[in-house]
Amino acid sequence: MPRQIKSQIFEQLARIAKAAASPGRLELLELLAQGDRTVEAIARRAGLSVANASRHLRVLWEAGLVETAREGQFVRYRLAGPEVFELLRAVRTVAARRNAQLERLVQQYLKAWDSLEPITSEELLRRARDGTVTVVDVRPPEEYAASHLPGAVSIPLDELKRQLARLPDGREVVAYCRGPYCLLAFQAVEILRNHGLKARRLESGLPDWRAQGLPTECGPSGRGSVDHEGSHRSQRRAVRK
């Protein structure tokens, strides 16, 4: 009997691991870590058909990794709890330390793309308090509205070139997106530097920032113009909350 109980316990643990053992489902977990959304929105952001996204979400739901809530005619999906994101972080951490192929990919592509050391969460929080940096969220607007860094300005990547005039001259810009392997921040930094701006990226993303217990804001504000001194004051007020 004890052996059977132990086997059943590990069977349930394996069920969780099996549900997460898919590149597509890991990407969906990263997307849902930004905020809840409908299957149609998930499919659009992940580049999947609605049917394919639904199948992945069903597997995650059956394993208890995501939850659903009805909103009118739509069903919205969300992570079942913060521990689900911790599972994703744990997979990333182990892979970064133990997976040689991942290390080669990061060195060959990401670090070759941007060799400058990214800014840490602690340094960014300090500099935001001092008002010496402009923080730009380059994720889609709905992700920014769900949660963002205090004082961050929302400029989605596909609008960045058109909205460079919103950024104050002479101040470093820090771009962030969904996580350490999200390419939006890399692309944003490249655009900013090509236009003569001093730019770096945050080493992680919004969910990691939140998991560290650092302050966040929500709501669709931050898309107006950015003035030189007003942005300083806005960031200081938000970070002190």
Just list the catalytic residues: 177
The CA distance from 155 to 162, in Å, is: 10
CB 81 within 8 A of CB 33: no
The CA distance from 144 to 154, in Å, is: 7
Q: How far is CA 69 from CA 112, 115, 155, 185, 209, in A?
A: 42, 42, 29, 31, 25
The CA distance from 157 to 241, in Å, is: 28
Strands 133-137 and 172-177: parallel
